[in-house]
Amino acid sequence: MRGLICGPKLAACGIVLSTWGVIMLAMLGIFFTTHSAVLIEDVPFTDQDIHQDINPPQRIYALYNQVGYNCFIAAAFYILFGFFSCCQMKLNKRKVSSFFCVAFF
């Protein structure tokens, strides 16, 4: 079967991981773009951004937004990964069912 790279268990793991990744990274992206205070440590700000900001806290907010968009891009990648895993799963199922057909005749 062309295009079959991984077995059924690996494909299932891929599907689970990508579902989790999509949901969690999307939510993280939303929380970053709404500038949640709890996530302050995860934003790569420097001393300069806090103390030498002309219009505080817009620079911090800009950084927040940047990290948020990063998360969204990673979530999009996980969508693709999930799609790939689904395809692998379907190929595996087709391979198993054709194997059964052969065995009976």
Partner 1 sequence: MCSLLRGEEMCLAQLFLQSGSAYDCINELGELGLVEFRDLNPGVNAFQRKHVNEIKKCEEMERILGKDILIFNIHMCYHHNYYCSYVHYHWVYVCVCSQEQLQRLEVELGEVTRNKEKLQRNLLELTEYTHMLRTTRNFVQRTSEVSYEEFPFLEKDTLMDYSSMQRLGAKLGFISGLIQRTKIEAFERMLWRVCKGYTILSYAEVEEYLEDPDTGEPTKSVVFLISYWGDQIGQKVKKICDCYHCHLYPYPSSNEERTDVVEGLRTRIQDLHTVLHRTDDYLKQVLMKASESVYTWVIQVKKMKAIYFILNLCSFDVTNKCLIAEVWCPVNDIPTLRRALEEGSRKSGATVPSFVNRIPTNDTPPTLIRTNKFTSGFQNIVDAYGVGNYREVNPAPFTIITFPFLFAVMFGDLGHGVIMALFALWMVLYENNRKLKNTRNEIWNTFFEGRYIILMMGLFSIYTGLIYNDCFSKSLNIFGSGWSVKAMFEAKVWKDADIRGNRVLTLDPNVTGVFRGPYPLGIDPIWNLASNRLTFLNSYKMKMSVILGVIHMSFGVILSTYNYLHFRKKHSLYLVFLPELLFLLCLFGYLVFMIFYKWLVFTAKDSRLAPSILIHFINMFLMQGDGVQPLYPGQTGLQVFLVVIAVLSVPVLLLGKPVYLYWLHNGSHRLGMYRGYERVRRNSEEELYLMRAHDMEEGSSHSDLSTSGERQTEEFDFADEFLHQAIHTIEYCLGCVSNTASYLRLWALSLAHAQLSEVLWTMVMRVGLRMDTSLGVFFLVPVFGLFAVLTVSILLVMEGLSAFLHALRLHWVEFQNKFYSGTGVKFCPFSFSLLPSSFEHDGLL
Residue ranges binding partner 1 (CB under 8 A): 17, 20-21, 24-25, 36-44, 51, 67, 69-71, 73-74, 77-78
Q: Which is nearer to partner 1, 38 or 102 (CB)?
A: 38
- b/e map 45-61, b = 16+ CB within 10 Å: beeebeeeeeeeeebbe
Nearer to partner 1, 2 or 102 (CB): 102
Minimum distance, C-beta of residue 32 to partner 1, in the bound complex (Å) = 8
Nearer residue to partner 1 within complex by CB, 20 or 83: 20
Q: How many CB atoms lie within 10 A of CB 35?
A: 16
The number of residues in the chain equals 105
